[in-house]
Amino acid sequence: MTDKPNPLVIENIEKSFQTGFLNLKKVKAVKGISLTIKRGEIFGLLGPNGAGKTTTLKMVTGLIFPDKGKISIFGKSSSKATARSEVGFLPENPWFYDYLTAREFLSMAGGIFSIPSDTVKKRSEELLEKLGIAHAADIPMRKYSKGMLQRAGLAQALINNPELIILDEPLSGLDPIGRRELREIILDLRKEGKTVVFSSHILADVEDICDSVAIIAKGKLRETGKLSELLLKGQSYFEIFATGVHNTISELCKSVDETVVVEKTISGTRIQVSTSEISNNILKKLVMENIEIKKFDSHKKSLEDLFMESSSNKSDEEK
Amino acid sequence: MGAIFSIGLNTFREAIRSKVFYSMALFAILIVITGHFLADISLHQEKRVLLDIGTGLISFFALMLSIFTGTSIIYKEIEKKTIYLILSKPVERWKFIAGKTAGLLATIFTVVGIMLIFFLLELYLMRISPGTNILKATILILSEVIVVVAITIFFSSFTSPFITGMLTIGMVAIGRLLPDLKHIIQMKYEPDFIRSSVESLLQIFPQLYLFIPNGHDFNGVHVSITSDFVNWSFTFWSTAYALTYSGIFLFLASIILSKRDLT
Ligand SMILES: Nc1ncnc2c1ncn2[C@@H]1O[C@H](COP(=O)(O)OP(=O)(O)O)[C@@H](O)[C@H]1O
Ligand SMILES: [Mg+2]
């Protein structure tokens, strides 16, 4: 298991588009993004509108080609069609053929993967049922609501029982119930050992269910890592307020860690520590020495702070 | 083969159920019936005229249908982003082109088939036996459809439906009028090298006059379904030409689409 290649490795990809009159203007949509997505995780690609999420996912799924950089899916270059045989993709706001039914579309999707037709039939039934569109399986998809299209889109993305599932803004356009159902489905996929990558511009979607996240803004990767680590990384410092002989406290603290900041204040002593490990040790010592702790605070940046900070970070945008 | 078949089948299903298709089929039937009245009011021998007009109308309508449906088929997929659902799967882009072409041809062949059934019924009612000529004419009509569809798919792989339509109509007009154009060039008193280079330039265009029931053979000699119609060998070689010509255009379309960003 462990020596199998990662589901998705993105190395320093860049992409610009020609726009405007006579295609003279160049828009850099993605400016060197690298990501590694590990087996079995739910990976959230978070970023405001226009950040470059869709552009990135389109490069991954072979719809557009990177100007620079490399993408490999289970070790195969994304430029090869076969790299996508274990991939399921739900595009942003999927749109289907007007006169085809969901069942027909699923059978075509299965055919493209060269899956035997009875397997496709069986799997279609399961998916239509699971995604709650079985009742509409035989009506033309032009009559579907946005939520139903999203569900049909997910069904076609799962028809090949993919190992890697890529969803572009899967929660948008769904009502609260639909959102909760979709979250359940994503969590179920992880239970089955699948890898899920999904993009969103809404923080809460990502915070709830992701193991790892990447925050991108203006075509650049701002933060990436395990959600828990990112949250920890955001904790700028811990504060301990204690009362007692200042010098004793100070010595005690310095014996734990040299870098601890100890200040005398009107009401006692303020201790500032950078990691939870050091603060724990100090707290233990203080308790052992019967020094009264008046207050303990962790000043922690939420993912939201991180997200807002990253996406409004203008300093390194135009250069 | 699975992918091409699946894409083709669904292209056919999608097309055959559209309102456009129903109106096309209805219109096709009307056209064939109109042929009857045209033949009726003409002063010539009824049998001759009905065969001529009937096959001519089928040929012309098949041509229009090819241009009309072919110009938007790839563009619509990109514009409506349905292509994302297909090409994000493990399928090469040439297979997409092949599947779309096959599905579209199946659709147009169906309309031609409907027209033909009505036409044969009409001939039967009037006790006219078309013989094997009608079979040859049908094969030639379908060959022309293949060529024209391939041209539209080629243009639509890189440009808008409007430009595709214009360019295709241009190619088709030249292709159908080639014997006359060659004739004009030969009559003009031009230096030899200009004439020969224009002539070889014209070879690039689809030699569509070969496929018209009331058209010309390889040597530019006039043929008609009612009298000296083409033989089987001609039919075979014209079809072979059509397949080769359209194969080249579809190959080029595949290369262009393979390099294209689907944004
Ligand atoms: N086909 C295109 N032509 C020109 N600009 C584009 C195109 N696609 C995306 N962009 C630009 O690239 C940037 C990133 O877009 P996108 O990847 O869609 O962002 P997101 O999915 O994160 O909202 C935006 O500034 C957008 O305007
Ligand atoms: Mg997007």
Please write the tens of the pLDDT for every residue from A23-61: 788 999 999 999 999 999 999 999 989 999 999 999 999
User: What residues 3-32 of chain A have any CB closer than 8 A to a CB of chain B?
Assistant: 17
Within 8 A of B9 by CB-CB distance, chain A residues are: 108, 111
Band (pLDDT 50/70/90 cuts) for residue A68 is very high
Q: Is the pLDDT of residue A210 over 80?
A: yes
Band (pLDDT 50/70/90 cuts) for residue A106 is very high
The CA distance from B152 to B247, in Å, is 13
Q: Is the pLDDT of residue A285 over 80?
A: yes
Using the Cβ of A82 and the Cβ atoms of chain B, whether some distance falls under 8 Å is answered with yes
The CA distance from A13 to A67, in Å, is 7
pLDDT less than 70: residues of chain B: 1, 35-36, 38-47, 187-190, 220, 226
Q: Is the pLDDT of residue A234 over 70?
A: no
Band (pLDDT 50/70/90 cuts) for residue A7 is very high
The DSSP result for A235-295, as a single string, is EEEEEEEEES-HHHHHHHHHHH-TT-EEEE-SSSEEEEESSHHHHHHHHHHHHHTTPEEEE
* pLDDT value of residue B192: 75
* pLDDT value of residue A319: 36
* pLDDT value of residue B223: 75
**Do residue B85 and residue A96 have CB atoms under 8 angstroms apart?**
yes
Q: Which atom number of ligand 1 is nearest to the Cα of residue B261? A: 1
- Cα A29 to averaged position of ligand 1 atoms, centre (Å): 6
Q: Count other C-beta atoms under 10 Å from residue A64's C-beta.
A: 21
**A49 class by beta-carbon count within 10 Å (0-12 exposed, 13-18 middle, 19+ buried):** exposed
Strand, helix or coil for residue A9: strand
Facing residue for A82 by CB, picked from B2, B82, B90 = B90
**A295 class by beta-carbon count within 10 Å (0-12 exposed, 13-18 middle, 19+ buried):** exposed
Q: How many residues does chain B have?
A: 263
Closest CA to A146 of A116, A171, A121, A123: A171
**Do residue A97 and residue B82 have CB atoms under 8 angstroms apart?**
yes
**H or E element that contains A296:** strand A292-300
Within 8 A of B87 by CB-CB distance, chain A residues are: 62-63
Q: Count other C-beta atoms under 10 Å from residue B127's C-beta.
A: 7
Q: Which residues pair with A17 in a beta bridge?
A: A27
Q: How much of chain A, in percent, has pLDDT values that exceed 90?
A: 57
The CA distance from A252 to A233, in Å, is 26
Q: What is the mean pLDDT of residues A214-227?
A: 89
Instruction: Kindly report the backbone phi and psi dihedral angles of residue B47, in degrees, each rounded to the nearest multiple of 5, phi listed first.
Output: -60, -50
Q: Mean pLDDT highest for which of A229-233, A262-266, B97-101?
A: B97-101
Using the Cβ of B87 and the Cβ atoms of chain A, whether some distance falls under 8 Å is answered with yes
Burial letters for A14-33: b for 16+ Cβ neighbours within 10 Å, e otherwise?
A: bbbbeeeeeeeeeebbbbeb
> Which of B21, B89, B94 best probes binding to A when mutated, by most A CB atoms within 10 angstroms?
B89
> Which of A76, A85, A97 best probes binding to B when mutated, by most B CB atoms within 10 angstroms?
A97
Contact status, residue A39 vs residue A5, Cβ threshold 8 Å: no
Q: What is the mean pLDDT of residues A219-234?
A: 80
Q: What is the mean pLDDT of residues A209-215?
A: 92
Question: Measuring from atom 5 of ligand 1, which residue has the nearest CA?
Answer: A17
Judged by average pLDDT, the poorest of A72-81, A121-130, A298-307, B62-71 is A298-307
Q: Interface pTM (ipTM) of the complex? A: 0.85
Q: Which two tokens mark A217?
A: 């803004």
* pLDDT value of residue A312: 66
**Do residue A89 and residue B262 have CB atoms under 8 angstroms apart?**
no
Q: Is the pLDDT of residue A2 over 60?
A: no
Facing residue for B261 by CB, picked from A65, A140, A153 = A65
Segment A153-175, tens digit of pLDDT: 999 999 999 999 999 999 987 88
Contact status, residue A56 vs residue A214, Cβ threshold 8 Å: no
Segment A107-161, tens digit of pLDDT: 999 999 999 999 999 999 999 999 999 999 999 999 999 889 999 999 999 999 9
Q: Which two tokens mark A283?
A: 């707290």
